[in-house]
Amino acid sequence: MEHLVYEIPSGLSSEFDVDLVGLEETSPRIEESFSRHVSIRRARWPGWLRGLTTIPVGYINLARYIKANRPDVVLTLSGIGINGLVVGLAGRRFGIPTVNRVTSDIFKVWWHKGGVFGRLSLFVRNNVLGRLSIRLSTKVVILHRDFRSRFRSKSIQNKLVAIPQPMAFPDADPNQARNIREGLGIPADARVASCIGRLAPDKNIPLLLRVAKRAMEERSDLHVIIAGSGPLEETVRRAARSESRFHVLGEIERGRVPAILQASDVFLSTARPGGEGLSTAIAEAIHFNVPVVATASGPGTLAMVPTASMDETALVKGLVDESTPQGVMPENMDPADNAGCWRDLVRSLIEDRVTG
């Protein structure tokens, strides 16, 4: 998430003064991306009470900022049910255009949350408060135009603007691929499938393991690299102990991702429906011309991987078959193009406010 909070305001700051209105604690990288940091003190209340008062306290602090600074536009990049509602309410009160941002198939995310209370809490946050914040917003940024299908109301669809997350892709380096294979003891002529991401329930790890095992049974030269950490990492490691062609790397540095992808012949993503917005890992695989096998986890994935399927046998075939097609890169992910989209959006809101 930090690279988004870093890239988007950096792109806007070439034309606008961009204030960060938030808690005192931020990373130096984020701090440098903004013209100014307006700090909000964290309430020193017990955790349960702080949770209940997040929206009213956030609203009061944002209202104070707006009264003192009179910004032209207020936007939030994440947290549509909390931050989005605060921004939407304040914008309506003070007559300031607001921008909200939907980062996933939010209305289905609660399905995969563990526990009754967790599901109920997430449903209220996204499906109740999130829908309200969308109605209050002037514009709503979605990650791909195909997400429009999730909004039936014509008035809401008129608010939608498709801008993906910005991504800077490194150049290909064949030496990196060779080093990865040699380091893991994978023959140069072997077929390699990789999966990079958080090992959590929303990534459907049981399906990932079943598909990988079935594919390895069908191809004796297939190796599977799984990189990432999370609550199900130990489950993955246990499943991999009986097969030497499973390579579980655990948490890796961000800089190793390009090397793993370049060492791969195919990329596998098994996210559950609603669990993905616009997958960064899939976009990176497409950049390096690695064919992608993926579940139909949402509009963003289907747009990038037209062959995405929930059929397990089809996923296995995709790993085994060397004719698996490459994916489609979304428009405007390049940081320069992406920054232009954000500047156009903010500029149009300011112009509409002046002329309206």
Residue 13 token pair = 């700051």
Nearest CA-CA partner of 297 in 276, 278, 318, 313: 276
Strongest mean pLDDT among 1-5, 53-57, 334-338: 334-338
Q: What is the mean pLDDT of residues 6-20?
A: 86
Q: What is the mean pLDDT of residues 156-184?
A: 89
pLDDT band at 126 (very low <50, low <70, confident <90, very high): confident
pLDDT band at 162 (very low <50, low <70, confident <90, very high): very high
| The pLDDT of residue 10 | 84
Q: What is the mean pLDDT of residues 11-23?
A: 84
Q: What is the mean pLDDT of residues 112-120?
A: 77
| The pLDDT of residue 169 | 85
Residue 59 has pLDDT above 80, yes or no: yes
| The pLDDT of residue 311 | 95
| The pLDDT of residue 39 | 62
Residue 9 has pLDDT above 90, yes or no: no
The per-residue pLDDT for range 289-322, each reduced to its tens digit, is: 999 999 998 888 999 998 999 999 999 999 999 8
| The pLDDT of residue 77 | 86
| The pLDDT of residue 78 | 84
**% of the chain at pLDDT higher than 90:** 55
CA distance 136 to 45: 29
Q: What is the mean pLDDT of residues 42-63?
A: 72
Alpha helices, H only, 197-244: 205-218, 233-240
Contact call for residues 216 and 190 (beta carbons, < 8 A):
no
Q: What is the mean pLDDT of residues 244-272?
A: 93
CA distance 221 to 191: 6
CA distance 322 to 254: 28
The per-residue pLDDT for range 171-204, each reduced to its tens digit, is: 878 888 889 999 999 999 999 999 999 999 889 9
pLDDT band at 138 (very low <50, low <70, confident <90, very high): very high
HEC profile of 6-39: HHHHHHHCCCCCCEEEEECCCCHHHHHHCCEEEE
Q: Pick the residue with more confidence: 205 or 125?
A: 205
Threshold 0.75, pTM exceeds: yes
Q: What DSSP letter does each residue of 178-208 carry, written as one string?
A: HHHHHHHT--TTSEEEEEES--SGGG-HHHH
Residue 25 has pLDDT above 70, yes or no: no
* 191-196 and 98-101 strand pairing: unpaired
| The pLDDT of residue 350 | 95
Residue 59 token pair = 């609203």
Within 8 A by CB and 6+ apart from 166, the residues are 3, 4, 7, 8, 11, 333, 334, 335, 338, 339
Residue 29 has pLDDT above 90, yes or no: no
pLDDT band at 122 (very low <50, low <70, confident <90, very high): confident
Residue 92 has pLDDT above 70, yes or no: yes
Q: What is the mean pLDDT of residues 48-56?
A: 69
| CB atoms closer than 10 angstroms to residue 273 | 18
Residue 11 token pair = 């792109």
pLDDT band at 72 (very low <50, low <70, confident <90, very high): very high
Q: Pick the residue with more confidence: 316 or 37?
A: 316
Residue 46 has pLDDT above 60, yes or no: no
CA distance 157 to 151: 6
**% of the chain at pLDDT higher than 70:** 88
The CA–CA distances, whole Å, from 85 to 88, 103, 345 equal: 5, 15, 20
Residue 343 token pair = 């500047």
CA distance 107 to 274: 7
Q: 60-69, 109-118, 311-320: which range is least confident on average?
A: 109-118
Domains of the chain: 2-167+334-355 (3.40.50.2000), 174-320 (3.40.50.2000)
Distance of CA 152 to the CA centre of its chain: 23
